Amino acid sequence: MYDDNALAIILLCSYLNSKVETIKPYTAIQWGKLADRILASKLNEPADLMNLSKEELKMILKISDEESERINQLLSRGVNLALKLENLESKGIKVLTRSDKKYPTRLKKRLGKHTPPLLYYAGDLSLLNIKSVAIVGSRNIGDEGQKIAQDLANSCTKDKLAIVSGGAKGIDIISEQTALNSGGVVVSFIADSLERKIKNKEIRNDIMSGKKLLLSSQNPDLGFSPGYAMNRNKYIYALSSGAFVISADYNKGGTWAGASENMKNKWVPTFVYDNNINDGNKELIKRGANPFKIIENLDLIEITNIKYEQPTQVDLFSMSKVVENKEVYEMELYDVYDLILPRIKQILIKEKTLEELCKIMNINKTQMSSWLKRCIEDGHIEKIYKPVRYLVKD
């Protein structure tokens, strides 16, 4: 179920089209700039873009011909988007946009315009409401690093704190699995294919039991890429209440880059294992990270209560029109059928058979028949016999 604002953002910012994109969707930074223009115009929210012509977009938003064409083309992908959303839903994957009330406020508050406009997820979003600790580290670890990660994860579980990690081999997997084995919960912001991850039986069981939430800001069918893995490190830190670095290589790798970025921006407190072995650990401590050695001496509850003063960020469309009553909010949502209906009615200005409709919309007969049945029940189209064909009624 997606509201108008969510659908507009998904259309503008996602790569969910089944075909190769000829016009690139908006990145987080680009979306932030466009959102500024929307707010500065007479429009109230992203949904207002959906019924505007290219000329109206250009005039209202004060943008170029190329930009208005880009917006128009991206918003016209409704049919393909609907099919993809249905396909993802069948696999247990949903989409969260910045307009959704359940979108993690920690990300928006700490990252501002760098906040991803879309999050793909599988699992219980309420896990984001639990205070959490990020546990990160390089893949190459010894027995000592493994034990520290396990002890820390067990302590977090004991204190009813969630583990936030990246789901990578090494420290990430060790801390996540330890927490799950001891009755804890895990939020994993992965850098791999979300579709492939949830095919793992053990991961599916953890998701279904409410113990694990998988998140990603990239298209769910895309695999691992070093660039995306590096970029998503900020999301791991920003989702947590405090971050623990078990092992880091000096001046290289994702762990070093993520910890350095967090310390620079002061999203959350950074704690580094003081083992006198890893050059990266020693250098991070020299640069101001909090050293720790013995897990039992850590007061994790107190650590997660530490708050840095965050710069004021514009909370773009979260929502512009706030609906306080949850029941009213839920009534305003609708499914992807509502996105398809106008296109079906447009096509059926002239009579069409089922086969003709399937060819025009490039979908199978089962799905088309399902939509036609709903259209008939809702009184939008009529079924004509001998031979069977369909025609719009209103």
CA distances from 211 to 163, 205, 273, 329 (A): 11, 9, 27, 27
pLDDT, one tens digit per residue, over 50-87 is: 889 999 999 999 999 999 999 999 998 877 788 888 89
Tokens 């209906």 sit at which residue? 341
pLDDT at 124 over 50: yes
Rounded CA separation 130/45 (Å): 30
pLDDT at 219 over 50: yes
Confidence of residue 364 (pLDDT cuts 50, 70, 90): confident
pLDDT, one tens digit per residue, over 8-40 is: 999 999 987 645 467 889 999 899 899 889 988
pLDDT, one tens digit per residue, over 246-304 is: 999 999 889 999 999 999 999 999 999 998 788 999 999 999 999 998 888 888 988 88
Q: Which pLDDT value is given to residue 309?
A: 54
Show the tokens assigned to 34: 């466009």
**HEC assignment per residue over the chain:** CECHHHHHHHHHHCCCCCCCCCCCCCCHHHHHHHHHHHHHCCCCCHHHHCCCCHHHHHHHHCCCHHHHHHHHHHHCCHHHHHHHHHHHHHHCCEEEECCCCCCCHHHHHHHHHHCCCEEEEECCHHHHHCCEEEEECCCCCCHHHHHHHHHHHHHHHHCCCEEEECCCCCHHHHHHHHHHHCCCCEEEECCCCHHHHCCCHHHHHHHHCCCEEEEECCCCCCCCCHHHHHHHHHHHHHHCCCEEECCCCCCCHHHHHHHHHHHHHCCCCEEEECCCCCHHHHHHHHCCCEEECCHHHCCHHHHHCCCCCCCCCCCCCCCCCCCCCHHHHHHCCECCHHHHHHHHHHHCCCCECHHHHHHHHCCCHHHHHHHHHHHHHCCCEEEECCCCEEEECC
Which domains can be identified in the chain, with CATH numbers?
Answer: 4-77 (no CATH), 119-304 (3.40.50.450), 337-392 (1.10.10.10)
Name the amino acid, one letter, at 360. Answer: I
Confidence of residue 327 (pLDDT cuts 50, 70, 90): very low
Confidence of residue 217 (pLDDT cuts 50, 70, 90): very high
